[in-house]
Amino acid sequence: MSTGGAIFKLVAGFCLCSLVWPVAAEMTLINDDALSAVSGQGGIYLSGDVSINELGGPINNSYFGSCSDAGKKCGARLAFRLKETGGWMVFDDIKGSFAFEGLTLGMRTIDSGFAGDGALFNGDVVELGLPNTVRYNDVRFKLSASNMARPTDPGFQQTDMFAIEMQGGVIMEGNLLVFPTGTP
Amino acid sequence: MRSLSGLFSQIITHLPATVLGVCLASNALAELKGLSESEMSEIDGAGVGVVLENFKFSHGTDQPGAGGNNARVFKIGGIKSTSGQDVDITVNRLYISGANSNYGDNLTAVNLGRLINPWRIDVVNGNDIGIAEKAVLEFAAPAKVSSAQGYDCLSTGATAGTGTCSSRPAATNYIGERADIGMQVNVGIGADSSGNINIHAKSAVVDGSYLRLWGDDARKQMVAQFKLNFYSDELAIDVCAQDGSSCDSRIYMSDFVMELALGNQLQPLFLDVDGGGNFVIDIASIPQPSAGQIGADGLRASSNNQTWDFYNAYYTNPEYRSNFSIGNISVGSKNFGSARIQGVLIQHLSIRTKDL
């Protein structure tokens, strides 16, 4: 081996060590107290597109997903009782789709702002950042009262009180802050 | 199949324990301490507080485009007129905005609820609110506060110490907690449709409102107590032509106050659906005292004291009564003065829907 090669290897080795050394020097142990003060700062960013019984599903012909056939209910149905032996409150024919972009979920410490309330509050909240616009596509449902849980039950009678239909962009801006109240 | 009220009362019976369990579990191990039975009995399920920060909401119905399709639709339908025609309520506009929105033209942000007095979802101990031995699920708006700390419910320039509302009006450097709320609807019966009806409430406050739900053992039914407080500096109503080209003069109601009490601890609101599929809301009559319980002169000395105290509480509790008042009604340039209905006590109510 030549002397030049040996010197090169020595210098290269030294350089490597000098790269590694400062990194090792800055590593310090965190004790339990310091560690307990560390909190995750991450959040979640959500985009969504939800379809429920829209247009009867992927196939929409005279057999599959036909909403005009009374025997094949198209919308979802949610029925609940308010009395042990009473009739049923019903959200019926729930269908449609909605989409949103940019719903955020994270933690936030509030200790200032809110015209003085922030400093008094001085705590953590779960912050749900609303998506600014939610796009509804033919969202419908009916509020009804029924004597049976299911339309196929014998003697079924139902009174539809009103139906809601929504379409297009709904402006929904701001942050929803959720936190525990009271002193358990 | 189990009824909702049964399931509901089971849930609210177990919820405080669950909440407690979650609270204890989330603490560090080192902080776990044993609780004595008496300490445990003092624990009330802590609720969840909700505040909407910089909130803005708007939806409505657009005029149909060139293809006949609406870009946005918001309709309430499924209602039939007595002659069997479809009634369609088209919501052209519904908004929740901050102060100075100029009847919804200029949407701004608003905070709803205060961090130190938020909207609340809570399971409360019924013994604390006069509903004996029940766990009560409560959805509540910010609570009223003492008049030493609170803000006048109506004035848009209210300062601390002027009233009992907790929500503050907008100020030069703060957006406030009082929202401008408004809607424009159009009612169509068959092919006929009305003009556009506009309702706008400026600086609206709902402090002190709540909905309480619990289960009634004897009737095995869900019961409720509903209090709706609504205060607005100005409520404006007008009717415009459908194309928005012309409007009638606005009816302004200044200093609008509604304090509606439906159901109370003694006469809760019963919710049910009957065998014919009709929705039923009941407030049962208060029982008559049995003979001789209340003296002929109606005074406590000549009556059964316990019975007299019961009826005295029923008649004198201001929480059980509904109030409505308007500071001034004006149409165009004409003022009609104030209107006031106070102390309405609902003694019996039964509402039933009927299919036509």
Question: What are the residue boundaries of the structural domains of chain B, listed by start?
Answer: 47-352
Q: Give a yes or no: residue A24 inside a domain.
A: no
Which pLDDT tens digit goes with each residue over A75-133?
A: 888 999 988 888 899 998 888 888 998 889 999 999 999 999 999 999 999 999 999 88
Is residue B288 classed exposed, middle or buried when 0-12, 13-18 and 19+ CB atoms within 10 A define those classes?
exposed
Q: Give a yes or no: residue A75 inside a domain.
A: yes
Query: What is d(CA A37, CA B318) in angstroms, rounded to the nearest whole number?
Result: 50
Enumerate the residues of chain A whose CB falls inside 8 A of the CB of residue B111: 114
pLDDT of residue A23: 46
Interface contacts (A, B; CB < 8 Å): 194
Chain A interface disruption, residue of B52, B221, B273, B274, most A CBs within 10 A:
B273
Interchain pair A181, B49: CB under 8 A: yes
Chain A within 8 Å of B321 (Cβ-Cβ)?
no
Q: Which residues does A117 contact at the CB level (< 8 Å), separation at least 6?
A: B114, B115, B116
Q: Give a yes or no: residue A124 inside a domain.
A: yes
Query: What is d(CA A55, CA A78) in angstroms, rounded to the nearest whole number?
Result: 19
**Domain boundaries, position A162:** 41-178
Q: Give a yes or no: residue A23 inside a domain.
A: no
pLDDT of residue B115: 93
Closest Cβ–Cβ partner in B48, B72, B114 for A117 = B114
Q: Which of B355, B356, B352, B349 is nearest to B279 (CA)?
A: B352
Min Cα separation B25/chain A (Å): 14
Q: Which of A137, A181, A79 is nearest to B120 (CA)?
A: A181
Enumerate the residues of chain A whose CB falls inside 8 A of the CB of residue B272: 82-83, 86-87
Enumerate the residues of chain B whose CB falls inside 8 A of the CB of residue A144: 277
Min Cα separation B178/chain A (Å): 13
For residue B185, the SS3 value is: strand
pLDDT of residue A7: 55
Which pLDDT tens digit goes with each residue over A2-29?
A: 555 555 555 555 544 444 444 445 667 7
Tokens of B172: 């030069």
**A147, A155 contact by CB (below 8 A):** yes
For A170, nearest residue in chain B (alpha carbons)? B59
Closest Cβ–Cβ partner in A82, A115, A164 for B4 = A82
Q: Give a yes or no: residue A35 inside a domain.
A: no
Q: Give a yes or no: residue A29 inside a domain.
A: no
Chain A within 8 Å of B174 (Cβ-Cβ)?
yes
Query: What is d(CA A81, CA B6) in angstroms, rounded to the nearest whole number?
Result: 9
ipTM of the prediction = 0.78
Q: Which of B164, B209, B201, B206 is nearest to B182 (CA)?
A: B201
Using the CB atoms, write b or e for A123-147: b if 16+ within 10 Å. Answer: eebebbbbbbbbbbeebbbbbbbbb
pLDDT per residue rounded down to tens, chain B (356 residues): 445 455 445 544 454 444 444 444 444 444 555 656 666 555 555 689 999 999 999 998 887 766 666 778 888 887 777 777 888 888 989 999 999 999 888 999 999 999 999 999 998 888 888 888 888 999 999 999 999 999 999 999 999 999 999 999 999 999 999 999 999 998 888 777 778 899 999 999 999 999 999 998 888 899 999 999 999 999 999 888 877 778 888 899 999 999 999 988 888 999 888 877 788 889 988 888 888 889 889 899 999 999 999 899 889 988 899 999 999 999 988 899 999 999 999 889 998 877 65
**Which string of DSSP letters, residue by residue, matches A124-142?**
EEEEEE--EEEEEEEEEEE
Kindly report the CA angle at B45 between B125 and A109, in degrees rounded to 5? 140
Q: Which of B112, B339, B336 is nearest to A114 (CA)?
A: B112
Enumerate the residues of chain A whose CB falls inside 8 A of the CB of residue B354: 159
Which pLDDT tens digit goes with each residue over B297-312?
A: 989 999 999 999 989 9
Enumerate the residues of chain B whose CB falls inside 8 A of the CB of residue A175: 52-55
pLDDT of residue B17: 47
More confident residue, A56 or B134: B134
- What total of structural domains would you count in chain A? 1
* Chain B residues 96-135 with a CB less than 8 Å from chain A: 107, 109, 111, 114-116, 118, 120, 122
In the chain, the amino acid numbered B314 is Y
